[in-house]
Chains A and B, each alone.
Chain A
């Protein structure tokens, strides 16, 4: 990697002699080096931890449940058709979020419990208990963790 970098930067560093050396540095390999560098950087950026797993949760079923319970009446959710309400936060990239409702650690257990009964975890929240069953909550949590 460093050698690639030097190979590209060297002629720039010797800017006074760049005209002299220019013909020595074929254009095509330099372009290839540049592309390689970009790819290396991008690969570094794209590195993420694996999505959180909810045991027994089916994301596809969870996605359908999000539509069925009309979570979209309050939340804008990618890939879930319906209204895009403003009462709750948009759930885009929810799988990367640190906290639920601004303070509860976003772990599979906590999220499942939250979907099951929000008031029990944060009295005063506007989010109602919709009668989601524990297994439905697991499916919905599994889906929400796919949003990244």
Chain B
């Protein structure tokens, strides 16, 4: 939460990776060229409407020159230049890159890391943590409909298609939080299907991943213990896993909550993460994100709700 006060950046015009810089460069050249051509056409129209100027240019010259030759030359040059420039984009391959699995679901993201220490898979959600300065390969898939992952500051879009794995390489130049968004309409809560890419210095990332691989720590005080008991009483474990809590280690329907307190946001980028938003979300997710698969808690008293929120908040 070190960057909680800085608004997360989601902007094509502020590239933070080598690939995004190439895409932004291409965009600016296309925009600049289009602006010049638009201005030239407007100028010609203005001259034509005024009806002045002595020399008439024949229709043949207009069609042959401005209608055929000009576009052929300009578009060919653009094609050659953009192809040459795009060749510098990172290859979408896991070779030589760190791999992270991302599964898009209605309407959140499951994120799976490989823990180098244990060799096991570490499951998290709605936040992709990556080390800076090296390519990270995302293996993207979906379990329901087609979604698309777009983190504009880091790369272009890539669809997530059920039954296949599409690759997308991200590389962040410097630490920071970059917001991303589902970019393929996928139903009622498409607009609230966001995520955050948190780029960290490599040693920080390694520490974070080692912690993420550990099971949740046991409650340290009565309120937290009460929250943990409420988690089980409310049957949250039917959909959510918290590794280290007996009976709550195998659910995959909802996001893994083992270290939910360490994430910047909950509900796929919808709410910033703290005990208040956790409590509000648990009490009635449908008020905040109508159609989300999570039902409202029905019979939880105020103090227990608060304890549950505090329990989840301290799962870091």
Contacts and interface: CB of A to CB of B under 8 A. Distances in A.
Interface string B193-213: 000000000000000000000
A73 B280 contact: yes
Contacts, number: 71
Contacts of A86: 283-284, 287
A83 B287 contact: yes
A73 B281 contact: yes
Nearest to B285: A85
B305 A84 contact: no
B52 interface: no
B287 A124 contact: no
- 3 closest residue pairs by CB, A with B: A73-B280, A126-B302, A87-B283
Contacts of B289: 83
B299 interface: no
Summarize A's interface: helix, strand, loop or mixed.
loop
Nearest to A130: B276
A69 interface: yes
> Could you say which of A123, A125, A128, A130 has the most chain B C-beta atoms within 10 Å of its C-beta?
A128
Interface residues of B, number: 22
B271 A128 contact: no
A127 B277 CA distance: 10
Contacts of B287: 83-87
A123 B283 contact: no
A70 B302 contact: no
B276 A128 contact: yes
A73 B305 contact: no
B271 A70 contact: yes
18 contacts: A70-B277, A71-B276, A73-B276, A73-B280, A73-B281, A84-B287, A86-B283, A86-B287, A87-B283, A87-B284, A87-B287, A87-B305, A88-B280, A119-B306, A124-B302, A126-B303, A127-B302, A130-B274
A130 B275 contact: yes
Given A70-B277, A74-B279, A86-B283, 20 more contacts: A69-B274, A70-B272, A70-B280, A73-B277, A74-B276, A83-B280, A83-B288, A85-B284, A87-B305, A119-B303, A124-B301, A124-B302, A125-B306, A126-B283, A126-B301, A126-B306, A127-B302, A128-B275, A128-B309, A128-B310
A73 B306 contact: no
Contacts of B302: 124-127
